[in-house]
Chains A and B, each alone.
Chain A
Amino acid sequence: MKTPITLKINGEEHSFEVEPRTLLVHLIREQANMTGTHIGCDTSSCGACTLLIDGKSAKSCTILAVQANGKEITTVEGLATAEGVHPIQEGFKENHGLHCGFCTPGMMLRAIELLEKNPDPTEEEIRWGISGNLCRCTGYNNIVKAIQYAGAKMRGDELPSTEPVFVE
């Protein structure tokens, strides 16, 4: 039996009919047709399906669509505005924070909540903060730099250098 639900995705109201067993990530990808939220491991380990529910980062492969009824969802499609890309997107671009890009939407949404709670995190705090998001190509150094860059931009501080660091 299908259940009617209504949720706000990236500021827009959407109504759907879902089976209770439908996972939120499937609703977003297949019924809302927003495929920026990825399915990686499908076991809540990798973080590729991370989105924001009422501002809290969540792994949408482990949440039922019916649980999101009445909530506000933010996906990667909602980050850029008419004025341009979000600081976190700029950070990833400027610091080569992505390679294949598969983990990137989840990384960025997780980083947004992290920076909201802790606007000026240390490197260690960033590494613990993204411990639920796996990257299998770039490695984490440039992702950490991308988040530091976004933090500085959101605080209005001077932007850190985006020159690559070569390790001897």
Chain B
Amino acid sequence: MIPSSFSYTAPSTLDEALKVLNELGDEAKILAGGHSLIPMMKLRFAEPEHLVDLNNIPGLSYINIEDGTLNIGAMTRESEMEESGDVQQHFPIFLDAAKLIADPQVRNFGTIGGNIAHGDAANDHPAVMIALGAEVEITGTGGKRTVGIDDFFYGFYATAVEDGEILTEIRVPVPSGKFGNAYHKTERKVGDYATGGVAVQIELDDSGTCTRAGIGLTNVNPTPLRATRSEEALVGTKVTAAEIEAAGQMAAEDCNPSDDLRGDADYKRRVIKALTKRMITKALERANS
């Protein structure tokens, strides 16, 4: 399978890329890792007239912690996330996710920015970012703006990134107190989309009371979904078995899965309930270890 014809530009600076994107408008697509876009182009689900390749622009790939924020450059590869000491120390949730994102070859090229900007509720990082309360930096010719993750996903393949703009950075707050996070999805085989996935971050005060809970769900709604009621069921409690059970039940009730080849909606709700309970438990263990 070969994509239909397109023109290709690989600018060497961000300004040049923005200029080209503004000239081309909605006829252009951004090429990052390409491991979501190119398969779609091969199947002719996507037929952009122009591809603007960001791979030759230096300075878009980095991971650092500054002033209590984990900053991730949008072109950072999944494999670089796996190898980062900052990620390993504070955010094992990314290692949980990385292991389940496609396979090592795909992770060598797939980028974290692309995973989010693709706007697919079946991708894994959107739910993870919801759990972590991330914000996203979007750069246009007029400068940079910041969008909270809850205002980022508009619909199927639609995000807050407008034509002529580029997602340039993801910022994840590093909580000051005790916290733990975890992600898991069920998949039929390596590389398949999730039957369902759950990302959780639990933050605790010194007495072990939950001060914030973030729970994001993968592939059980047209857009990545925050399990708001489940979060509220945990905040202010000691996160005992009763609250975990209630949060799992609420996540199952509040998601909107569809019947497909990965299972029917009822089955997927059960998957979400089981995974929500397990990921809360795992995040809690990590917070306390």
Residues of A within 8 A of B (CB): 1, 3, 19-23, 26, 42-45, 47, 50, 56-59, 62-64, 66-67, 69, 110, 113-114, 128-129, 131-133
Q: Are A58 and B2 in contact (CB under 8 A)?
A: no
A42 contact from B4, B31, B42, Cβ within 8 A: B42
| Given A23-B2, A57-B108, A129-B104, A45-B191 contact (CB < 8 Å) | yes
Q: Are B34 and A63 in contact (CB under 8 A)?
A: yes
Is B102 close to A, CB under 8 A? yes
Contacts of A3 in B (CB 8 A): 8
Contacts of A63 in B (CB 8 A): 34, 38, 109
Q: Are A132 and B103 in contact (CB under 8 A)?
A: yes
B6 contact from A21, A113, A133, Cβ within 8 A: A21
Shortest Cβ-Cβ A-B pairs, 9 listed: A132-B103, A20-B8, A56-B108, A21-B3, A131-B190, A59-B105, A132-B105, A57-B105, A131-B103
Q: Are B42 and A20 in contact (CB under 8 A)?
A: no
Contacts of A133 in B (CB 8 A): 103
Size of interface on B: residues with Cβ below 8 Å to A: 30
Complex CA distance for A44 and B38, rounded to whole angstroms: 10
Contacts of B102 in A (CB 8 A): 44, 132
Complex CA distance for A26 and B42, rounded to whole angstroms: 13
Q: Identify 9 residue pairs between A and B in the complex whose beta-carbon atoms are under 8 Å apart, listed by A's number.
A: A19-B5, A20-B51, A21-B41, A44-B39, A45-B191, A57-B108, A64-B31, A64-B34, A67-B55
Chain B residues numbered 92-125 whose CB sits less than 8 Å from any CB in chain A: 99, 102-106, 108-109
A64 contact from B38, B106, B190, B191, Cβ within 8 A: B38
Contacts of B190 in A (CB 8 A): 131-132
Complex CA distance for A47 and B104, rounded to whole angstroms: 10
Q: Are B8 and A62 in contact (CB under 8 A)?
A: no
Q: Are B105 and A58 in contact (CB under 8 A)?
A: yes
Q: Are B34 and A110 in contact (CB under 8 A)?
A: no
